[in-house]
Chain A
Amino acid sequence: INQDFNEPIRVASKFQSGDGINKVSIFREDVKITQGSLSIEASEVEVNAEQGKGREIFIARGNPAEYQQTMADGSRIRALANHIEYQVEKRTLTLSGNAELHQNSSSVSGDKIEFNMEKEQLVAQGSDDGDGRVETIFQPEPKKKPVQEK
């Protein structure tokens, strides 16, 4: 997973518009973000590049938008949500709106889920209004030492 973050981020879509002054671009119609093994598919993606190089924030919206990535152990993590925010510098994913995260044999769902992609660990989950349903089916087992490529 960590090599992914050295890769350039590619965004394909039918339509793109941008505002150079506040450095925000909007991609519409079958938007697909790829970065190494990471992929996010959505109907619309907003990219905020205000903080400059390498600190872009990708906000994907869809019904739902879908995120996938290959974990260190080779398994494929998958997440769905109406709103997926990928912070490039922090390497975190914030899922909100019917969020679901499926990792190995465990899956988590709720209104809001924050996931650290580099450590492959759940950072926070819960709901905005406090009484929303949060469900964890099975805790992911402790992270094995990532296997070294020969």
Chain B
Amino acid sequence: MSRLTLSILLLFLLILATNYNWWQDSEQPQVNKQREDVWQPNYQARNMQTNLFNEEGVLTHSIHAAVMEHYEALGFTLFQQPQYSVFVQADEPPWEITAQEGTLYEDNRIQLETNVEIRSLSEDGVWQTINTSFIEIDLNNKTMHSDQPVTILGVNYTIRGNGFSADMNSKQFELLDHVETIYGKDN
């Protein structure tokens, strides 16, 4: 490494150092451009069907939606008219869930909005249908939570309340703001 190349190198570093902010500035506009992209879906699918399996290869839930938009950077997927089947226990038919719109987050939480209907396909199931305008389902531990008015139709009863939470495995449920439950043929 002759003295000449050393001094050239030094000179080059010097220039670089003094212009450091120049190099920095040019970075700025680029970031704004990138933020706009974030709002564009990474990919979009129409009439798509996704089946998701757990480690043992057991089907845990499947989604059919008119439109699906995945937003990688924002970490969620939007569904239009999602039809969701959640398989809770092997010996039990799945729960069918439909709504106007659904948002699936990376931590396996799905929020469903507008005309949400959850149907249990087993006749003697504890709840036949659940209707509400918003619900969040944690697909990992199969729990549901809503803070909106809800109507739960069971075998021979109807429950109305504001907000509820339920565990699809243990079938425990709770209404903190219960309005009324009707037993008998009125439901």
Contact residues of A between 45 and 60, Cβ < 8 Å to B: 47, 49, 52-54, 56
B184 touches A23 (CB 8 A): no
- Which of B127, B179, B183, B184: most chain A Cβ within 10 A? B183
A27 touches B183 (CB 8 A): no
0 or 1 for each of B154-187: is its CB under 8 Å from A? (1 = yes): 0111010100000000111111111111111111
B182 touches A8 (CB 8 A): yes
A-B contact count (CB 8 A): 73
Q: Number of A residues whose C-beta is below 8 Å from B?
A: 26
Give Cα A9–Cα B127 distance, bound, in whole angstroms.
Answer: 18
A127: Cβ under 8 A from any B Cβ: no
B157 touches A49 (CB 8 A): yes
A147: Cβ under 8 A from any B Cβ: no
A27 touches B156 (CB 8 A): no
0 or 1 for each of A30-53: is its CB under 8 Å from B? (1 = yes): 000001000000000001010011
Known: A16-B161, A17-B172. A53 touches B127 (CB 8 A): no
Known: A21-B126, A23-B126, A53-B156. A11 touches B184 (CB 8 A): no
Give Cα A69–Cα B164 distance, bound, in whole angstroms.
Answer: 32
A14: Cβ under 8 A from any B Cβ: yes
Cβ–Cβ < 8 Å partners of A9 in chain B:
182-184
Cβ–Cβ < 8 Å partners of A27 in chain B:
178, 181
Known: A20-B126, A21-B126, A53-B155. A10 touches B181 (CB 8 A): yes
A12 touches B180 (CB 8 A): yes
A149: Cβ under 8 A from any B Cβ: no
B156 touches A16 (CB 8 A): no
- Beta-carbon nearest neighbor of B180 in chain A: A12
State how many angstroms separate the Cβ of B144 from the closest Cβ of chain A. Answer: 12
State which of B170, B176, B183, B184 has its C-beta within 8 Å of the C-beta of A15. B176
A68: Cβ under 8 A from any B Cβ: no
Cβ–Cβ < 8 Å partners of A49 in chain B:
155-157, 183
Instruction: Determine chain B's interface SS by DSSP, over half rule.
Output: strand
State which of A8, A47, A52, A53 has its C-beta within 8 Å of the C-beta of B186. A8
A19 touches B171 (CB 8 A): yes
B183 touches A8 (CB 8 A): yes
- Beta-carbon nearest neighbor of A45 in chain B: B181
Contact residues of A between 78 and 97, Cβ < 8 Å to B: 88
Cβ–Cβ < 8 Å partners of A17 in chain B:
172-175
State how many angstroms separate the Cβ of A6 from the closest Cβ of chain B. Answer: 9
B183 touches A11 (CB 8 A): yes
Cβ–Cβ < 8 Å partners of A53 in chain B:
155-156
B171 touches A21 (CB 8 A): yes
Give Cα A129–Cα B54 distance, bound, in whole angstroms.
Answer: 58
A sample of 22 cross-chain residue pairs with beta-carbon separation below 8 angstroms, ordered by A number, consists of A7-B184, A8-B184, A10-B180, A11-B181, A13-B178, A15-B176, A16-B178, A17-B173, A17-B175, A18-B126, A18-B172, A18-B173, A19-B170, A19-B171, A20-B171, A20-B172, A23-B126, A27-B181, A35-B184, A47-B183, A52-B155, A53-B156
A-side residues, CB < 8 A to B, are 7-21, 23, 25, 27, 35, 47, 49, 52-54, 56, 88
